Amino acid sequence: MAASIFAAVPRAPPVAVFKLTADFREDGDARKVNLGVGAYRTDEGKPWVLPVVKKVEQMIANDNSLNHEYLPILGLPEFRANASRIALGDDSPAIKENRIGSVQALGGTGALRIGAEFLRRWYNGNNNTATPVYVSSPTWENHNSVFMDAGFKDIRTYHYWDAAKRGLDLQGLLNDMEKAPEFSIFILHACAHNPTGTDPTPDQWKQIATVMKRRFLFPFFDSAYQGFASGSLDKDAWAVRYFVSEGFEFFCAQSFSKNFGLYNERVGNLTVVGKDADNVQRVLSQMEKIVRTTWSNPPSQGARIVATTLSSPQLFAEWKDNVKTMADRVLLMRSELRSRLESLGTPGTWSHITEQIGMFSFTGLNPKQVEYMIKEKHIYLMASGRINMCGLTTKNLDYVAQSIHEAVTKIQ
């Protein structure tokens, strides 16, 4: 028989975070803990369907006026408008001046991808694959690949995490912006930076915006955790709104995977803020072309859930409460873990656990210590030392703290 025409296809390495979850699932040890996956878990270690989502799902199921016709290419209008509104704020000048547009996308990833495709085709010249794209060091690993697959050839990193001080390297970041070629694209985490859990303060954002404006750098916000950083939607959108007030044109990719718990429904939105309505409409017309050949038109269920929730004051209030429940549980796990490590006398300082925000913490564990945690303790975390605080529960906190203590004291 002739060899397969695919015989020369090399096997791609597995995606680390999904591999980690698969390994966790296969682990038969009763003590096992998954601190890898980027999803919320209850104190029982279970996924959570938000009560408001359950309620709205029932409303949708009982609404006989709905059907399964195709949505418009750019998505459900009520979803797009409401999603952009929670990013930009009710009284956003950009909304009032009618110079924003939105594209419903398949998750935050889809929003990033549509934005990246557009920029490659139409930004800084046509098909300018040489425009540098800067991602934070470290960042969510998909940022690189999404922009590379969209055709960008020059993906660079900017300084972000200062390992020694376990905080933001503001000066390194600003220096990189000063040195970047004009019109470079900068991917900025809007809040709850993944994986470090460290965000610039408002004053630091102001410094960032000043340099970006002077150097003609393009901000592309990635907002995957609005509500998770502080528990408040408005506080978490501060940076995005500040950039509007400073007159920037920018993109903002929003994910509703985490703050609505709609991971597998793939609900995202790409907000475009431009100088005027005419510019935005031309941009959207090109984005429509990109969507048409990518997924043609988006799925409706998740977008309906989000649109229904955001457009009713009562449901909106319920949702904000649900978000706060998640954010508060994360805060509690942070303080509980920190106090356990401190009372065990685990070498090092652990204040960063409570200073960091959002779902993740960068523990500072090195790859060997991570390996010890997985192999000896059945506690799964990313090689970078990132842990998902939601994987902690009142039942496993002692075990996790004791295991971190052992990893740090036994393995250098």
Q: Which residues are the active-site residues?
A: 140, 222, 258
Check binding of 140 to ligand PLP (CB under 6 A).
Answer: yes
Nearer to ligand PLP, 260 or 372 (CB): 260
Give the C-alpha separation, 250 to 369, whole Å: 40
Piece of the chain touching ligand PLP by CB under 6 A; list 27-35, 53-61, 105-113, 207-215: 105-113
Q: Is the dihedral of CA 403, 408, 410, 412 positive or negative?
A: positive
Residue 109 or 322: the one with the smaller Cβ distance to ligand PLP is 109
Residue 109 sits in the site that holds ligand PLP (CB under 6 A): yes
Least distance to ligand PLP, CB of residue 392, Å: 18
By rule CB under 6 A, what string of x and - marks binding of each residue 209-248 to ligand PLP? Answer: -------------x-x------------------------
Residue nearest to ligand PLP (CB): 107
Q: Is 391 in the site for ligand PLP (CB under 6 A)?
A: no
Site string for ligand PLP, 247-276 (x = CB under 6 A): --------x-x----------x--------
Using the rule CB under 6 A, give the single segment among 3-11, 107-115, 165-173, 371-379 that binds ligand PLP: 107-115
What does the chain come to in residues?
412
Residue 132 CB contacts under 8 Å (≥ 6 apart), including other chains: 154, 155, 156, 180, 181, 184, 185
Q: How far is the CB of 146 from ligand PLP (least distance, A)?
A: 9
The CA distance from 184 to 13, in Å, is 30
Q: Residue 255 or residue 322: which is nearer to ligand PLP going by CB?
A: 255
Q: Which of residues 22-61 bind ligand PLP (CB under 6 A)?
A: 38
298 binds ligand PLP (CB under 6 A): no
Please state, in angstroms and as integers, the Cα–Cα distance from residue 12 to each residue in 5, 16, 382, following that order.
Answer: 17, 12, 19
Query: Residues with Cβ < 8 Å from 105, sequence gap 6 or more?
Result: 75, 111, 113, 114, 253, 268, 269, 270, 298
Binding of residue 302 to ligand PLP (CB under 6 A): no
Number of chain positions touching ligand PLP (CB under 6 A): 12
- At its nearest, how many Å lie between ligand PLP and the CB of residue 128? 24
Least distance in angstroms from the C-beta of 337 to ligand PLP: 21
Nearest approach in angstroms of CB 283 to ligand PLP is 21
Nearer to ligand PLP, 363 or 388 (CB): 388
Tell me which stretch binds ligand PLP (CB under 6 A): 101-109, 150-158, 178-186, 328-336: 101-109
Q: Is 198 in the site for ligand PLP (CB under 6 A)?
A: no
Per CB under 6 A, which region of 18-26, 53-61, 104-112, 377-385 contacts ligand PLP? 104-112
Beta carbon of residue 136, minimum distance to ligand PLP (angstroms, whole number): 10
Q: How far, in Å, CA of 12 to CA of 18, rounded?
A: 14
The residues with which 100 forms a beta bridge, in sequence order, are 273
List CB contacts of 72: < 8 A, sequence separation 6 or more: 297
- d(Cα 139, Cα 153) in Å, to the nearest integer? 18
Torsion sign over Cα 323, 329, 335, 341: negative
Closer to ligand PLP by CB, 36 or 274: give it.
36
Q: Is 81 exposed, middle or buried (0-12, 13-18, 19+ CB in 10 A)?
A: middle
Closest distance to ligand PLP from the beta carbon of 372 (Å): 26
Give residues in contact with ligand PLP (CB under 6 A).
38, 107-109, 140, 189, 194, 222, 224, 255, 257, 268
